[in-house]
Structure 1
Amino acid sequence: MYVIVVYDVDVKRVSKVHRFLRTHLHWRQNSVFEGEVTRAQLYEIKRTLEDLIEDNDSVLIYELPGSNFTLHVIGTDKSPVGEII
């Protein structure tokens, strides 16, 4: 499945959340990651994020059934998906 993760966490935890998500997903722009994951990977992502964040933090995970969707970028695409190694 394809997921989009958007987060708003305290500045003290931003780098930890960013580093963790970067190991599983593609960074799109500030506080936004996306990518194809398995159910097991999604479970691990959720579990780890629950451990990293605190009560006032927020993480949104959008699950899409597949990667068949259209992305419209207005302005500069800060991190094109084509850059994935």
Structure 2
Amino acid sequence: MYILITYDVVTEDKAGQRRLRRVARACENIGQRVQNSVFECEVSPAQLVEIRTKLLKIIDQDSDSLRIYHMGSNWHHKIEQLGKEKSYDISGPLII
């Protein structure tokens, strides 16, 4: 399944800055950063449960915001890229 993870972490203190780094690192391990706090991810249902659980343990639910958008199986037609950055094919081959 294809999901979009977005977050907003309050970084007014060192604890918030640490949470921001931890959230970003967790998302980098599962998806591709497309904007500062936005990640595109292709995950299995088990991976979705795992990343949701991990992120909920990191954020402060009283001050931080986390959104997970379920794009569905026909996601190719739901994304329109405009401007500088060109989108990549998340399901295409990965060349390292």
Q: TM-score category by the smaller chain?
A: 0.7 to 0.9
Q: Which has the higher contact order (CA 8 A, sep 6+)?
A: 1
TM-score (norm 2): 0.76
Runs of 4 or more, structure 1, over 3 Å off, are 82-85
Extract unaligned runs of 5+ from structure 2: 12-16
In structure 2, the CA distance between the partners of 1:36 and 1:67, relative to structure 1 (3 Å rule), is farther
Q: Does 1:49 align with 2:64?
A: no
TM-score for both structures, normalised by structure 1: 0.85
Q: How does 1:1-80 map to 2 (within 5 A)?
A: 1-11=1-11, 12=17, 13-54=19-60, 55-70=62-77, 71-77=79-85, 80=87
Percent of aligned pairs with the same amino acid: 36
Instruction: Give the number of the structure whose alpha-carbon radius of gyration is greater.
Output: 2
Superposition RMSD in Å: 1.9
Alignment coverage as a number of residue pairs: 84
- Aligned mates of 1:33, 1:67 — CA distance in 2: 18
